[in-house]
């Protein structure tokens, strides 16, 4: 046993804590927790990167372990231990209209990062989930005032318009439409809508792929149709 281990408490489920500290020396690495009169002699596990004497660090104290997570001036923050499987999170609290709310950034399950709004007594209200595959999901719960639901948000969308030429009765035409490069990972659903005041013809999409589709139009109205603008919407709901 390392004799220095006695300087820190034995691990129990309840003795994990977080502290601000100051780097007292770098070789060996020692930190002094705020409120302590001397540096701790245990060598911390350094996740904060390069440190200098006098730097302020955010320290996780876990049983006999000290883990340095960041300097306040760092451009990123680490929370939780490497290999951790519990849902680490940051929590902001605020009273809104006399009611307390919690606003969490959470390391969620299924490789997701969650933004969560909850009530201390009633529980989760809304959770916005960002998957590691780029999929977005929204979950609502009864305390939000909206029926509980779990639904994906569109993975990718694109919109555009096509100027189509006049078309006499009994004829048809087609136009090639190209999607923005790399927008879709599988063929989206395409919806088309004419903006003409007297359309006189039908429109549809065919041959849809990740790169585009063919806009088709036909006129069997019994009269001629003038030039007009057609708007289209392409939606890929899930990855």
CA separation for the pair 194, 219 (Å, rounded) = 13
The pLDDT score that the predictor gives to residue 83 is 66
Sheet containing 56-62: order of strands: 29-33, 17-26, 56-62, 65-70, 45-46
* pLDDT 10s digits, 96-105: 999 999 999 9
Give the three-state DSSP class for 221. coil
CA-derived radius of gyration, the chain: 30
The pLDDT score that the predictor gives to residue 198 is 72
The pLDDT score that the predictor gives to residue 208 is 98
The pLDDT score that the predictor gives to residue 8 is 45
CA separation for the pair 23, 181 (Å, rounded) = 50
Per-residue pLDDT of the chain (239 residues; tens, 9 = 90+): 444 444 444 444 445 688 888 999 998 999 999 889 999 988 888 887 788 898 888 888 877 788 888 655 444 455 665 666 766 778 888 999 999 999 999 887 788 899 999 999 999 999 999 999 999 999 999 999 988 999 899 999 999 999 999 999 999 999 999 999 999 999 999 999 987 667 789 999 999 999 999 999 999 999 999 999 999 999 999 98
The pLDDT score that the predictor gives to residue 29 is 92
The pLDDT score that the predictor gives to residue 80 is 60
Task: State the sign of the Cα–Cα–Cα–Cα dihedral 183, 187, 189, 190.
Answer: positive
The pLDDT score that the predictor gives to residue 84 is 67
Encoding tokens for residue 92?
């902001």
Q: Which CATH number fits domain 156-236: 3.40.50.2300, 1.10.4080.10, 3.40.50.10260, 2.60.40.2080?
A: 2.60.40.2080
* pLDDT 10s digits, 119-135: 999 999 999 999 999 99
CA separation for the pair 30, 46 (Å, rounded) = 10
209-225 per-residue burial string, b: 16 or more CB within 10 A, e: under 16: ebebbebbbbbeeeeeb
- 214's enclosing H/E stretch is strand 212-219
In the chain, where are the structural domains located? 3-70, 89-153, 156-236
């Amino acid at each position: 046993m390392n004799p220095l281990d006695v300087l820190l408490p034995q691990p129990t489920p309840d003795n994990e804590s977080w502290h601000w500290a100051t780097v007292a020396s770098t070789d060996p690495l020692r930190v002094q927790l705020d409120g302590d009169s001397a540096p701790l002699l245990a060598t911390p596990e350094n996740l904060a990167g390069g440190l200098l004497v006098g730097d302020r660090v955010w320290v996780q104290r876990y049983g006999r372990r000290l883990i340095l997570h960041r300097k306040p001036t760092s451009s990123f923050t680490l929370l939780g231990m490497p290999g951790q499987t519990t849902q680490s999170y940051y929590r902001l609290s605020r009273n809104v209209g006399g009611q307390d709310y919690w606003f969490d950034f959470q390391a969620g399950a299924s490789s997701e990062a969650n933004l969560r709004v909850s009530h201390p007594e009633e529980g989760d209200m809304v959770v916005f989930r960002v998957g590691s595959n780029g999929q977005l999901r929204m979950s609502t719960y009864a305390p939000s005032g909206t029926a509980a639901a779990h639904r994906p948000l569109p993975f990718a969308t694109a919109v555009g318009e096509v100027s189509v030429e006049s078309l006499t009765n009994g004829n048809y035409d087609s136009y090639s439409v190209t999607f923005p490069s790399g927008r879709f990972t599988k063929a989206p659903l395409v919806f088309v809508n004419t903006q003409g005041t007297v359309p006189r013809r039908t429109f549809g999409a065919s041959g849809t792929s990740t790169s585009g589709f063919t806009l088709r139009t036909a006129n069997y109205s019994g009269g001629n149709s003038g030039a007009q603008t057609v708007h289209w919407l392409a939606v890929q709901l899930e990855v």
